[in-house]
Amino acid sequence: MKIKSEQFRMTKPREVVLSILSSRKEHLTADDIYNIAKKIYPTIGFASVYRSLRLFEREGIVEAVFVNGKKKRFQLKKRREKIKIHLICTNCGKIKDFSGRNKEVKGFVDEIKKVLAEKYSFKLSTLEMQIFGECDKCKS
């Protein structure tokens, strides 16, 4: 688990809350989390559960949603894949970037993902690629 800020300390209540969130797929309310947490760590208080959730939310680890306008529910943020492809012109130095949102890039990345998964049972999370060549203007 990557944590953004340096001053973040993993205390026991935080650890418990995080382990609950990572073991459940559904969105949980602070009460749900507190009730599960008590079974693991009986001395935990609701306030520290709630503070942990707020902290994780600020740190971007957890996202809070309101389901049907009801109580706030919490879930671990899904880690998005990071795809970055740079086309670099060796003549003029122009760089064109593609992200994973680009349709053609997505198709190409999906192919790589399939190969990695099938052949090496490896899960791609970040892809950064530099392709060198000549740009539209320089190639003629």
- Which residue carries 């949102």 as its tokens? 101
Asked if residue 3 binds Zn ion (CB under 5 A), the reply is no
d(CA 65, CA 116) in angstroms, rounded, equals 34
Asked if residue 91 binds Zn ion (CB under 5 A), the reply is yes
Q: Pick from 10, 67, 92, 117: which binds Zn ion (CB under 5 A)?
A: 92
Q: What is the smallest separation between the CB atom of 101 and Zn ion, expressed in angstroms?
A: 24
Residue 63 CB-density burial (10 A; 0-12 exposed, 13-18 middle, 19+ buried): middle
Please identify, using beta-carbon distances, which residue of 10 and 138 lies nearer to Zn ion: 138
d(CA 95, CA 135) in angstroms, rounded, equals 9
Q: What is the smallest separation between the CB atom of 94 and Zn ion, expressed in angstroms?
A: 5
- Which residue carries 């970040």 as its tokens? 126
Q: Pick from 64, 89, 116, 127: which binds Zn ion (CB under 5 A)?
A: 89
Please identify, using beta-carbon distances, which residue of 120 and 132 lies nearer to Zn ion: 132
Cβ contact 20:33 at 8 Å? yes
d(CA 96, CA 131) in angstroms, rounded, equals 10
Task: List, in sequence order, every residue forming a beta bridge with 133; answer none if it has no partner.
Answer: 89
Please identify, using beta-carbon distances, which residue of 67 and 95 lies nearer to Zn ion: 95
Please identify, using beta-carbon distances, which residue of 47 and 92 lies nearer to Zn ion: 92
Q: What is the smallest separation between the CB atom of 17 and Zn ion, expressed in angstroms?
A: 52
Count, residues near Zn ion per rule CB under 5 A? 6
Interface with Zn ion by CB under 5 A: which residues?
89, 91-92, 94, 135, 138
